[in-house]
Amino acid sequence: MPSRSDDNAIDKDPIDKDPIDKGPIDKDKGEHLPHLRADGAPPRPSWLPRQRRGITPQMIGRYPDYDVLENADTWDEMTRGVVLARLDPPGPLRFFEPSEEATLRAFCDVTTGQDEDPRVPVAESVDAKLADGKLDGFQYADMPDDRDTWHLVLAGLDESAHERFRTGFGQCRLDEQEQLVRDFAAGRLSGGSWNELNVSRAWSVCMRAILSGFYSHPWAWNEIGFGGPAYPRGYMRTGALNTTEPSESRGATQEDPVGTVRRESEEFPG
């Protein structure tokens, strides 16, 4: 079955766009780990290969020759329709106000590490979930409705940005946005709209929607090497964890991302 990747118009050809080459990253010096680099900045995208098949966010990934859509002909018709519909160009926002859009998009981009196209349309996914009332089926006793929580969070991010940087969150520099998001995640933001929320729980509400939107998209599946729905074909490899299904491929790097994050947390707490 032909890939739906070509159906999604992207303004630029991400495959042919090479990242700025600043020389190879020295892993022996820990240059691929943000806490071990002198500037503490995220690694250059070029430390991962450019995607050669299919589409991933920013066209980089651990599985450069993998495209989950090549498995689409093994899915049943209903599953295939649901998955491929996620590749349709997103429509305009229906739940959030135009005045909230810049903050919403910046917040979704920062939390998912998407700083250039192509991007998984996380903002549109969150917007559709809230507009359609498809909530999580529960609500914290000390929190407002999730829809109200989102409005308050976006207002709070803007208020905090104006207080610190004299501009809205969507207009802040990336490092300023990341600083505010780190403080939000740690429950350190207060005043104004934040006082109407349990800030730590508000972070949980937002991240559930953001991560659900990101990891339900086939481009994110390509990024993590996920094989997509296994129905009706099922799984063949049920033995050792290091075995792969016929439809899967091994990563271009063997570094364990979970171990990397754990080491950073232990060596550089906070």
Among residues 200, 215, 230, the one where a domain terminates is 215
Residue 93 falls within a domain, yes or no?
no
Same domain, 9 and 72: yes
Q: What is the DSSP string of the chain?
A: ---GGGGS--SS-TTT-PPP------GGGTTTSGGGSTT-PPPPGGGSPBP-SS--GGGB-S-TT--GGGGGGGS-HHHHHHHHHTTSPP---SSS-HHHHHHHHHHHHHHHT--SSS---HHHHHHHHHHTT---S---TTS--HHHHHHHHHHHHHHHHHHHHSS-GGGS-HHHHHHHHHHHHTT---SGGGGGS-HHHHHHHHHHHHHHHHHTSHHHHHHHT-----TTT--S--S-TT---TT----S----HHHHHHHHHHHS--
Same domain, 245 and 205: no
Same domain, 222 and 188: no
pLDDT attached to residue 47: 61
Which residue would you say has higher pLDDT here, 123 or 266?
Answer: 123
Same domain, 119 and 181: yes
Same domain, 119 and 151: yes
pLDDT attached to residue 260: 63
pLDDT band at 15 (very low <50, low <70, confident <90, very high): very low
Q: State how many domains the chain has.
A: 2
| pLDDT tens, residue by residue, 230-253 | 877 777 777 776 677 777 777 777
Same domain, 168 and 246: no
State the residue range of the domain holding 259.
4-86+217-267
Mean of all residue pLDDT scores within the chain: 82
Given a cut of 60, whether residue 43 has pLDDT beyond it is: no
Same domain, 104 and 30: no
Residue 176 falls within a domain, yes or no?
yes
> Which segment of 26-35, 218-227, 233-242 scores lowest on mean pLDDT?
26-35
Q: Is the pTM of this model over 0.85?
A: no
Same domain, 194 and 104: yes
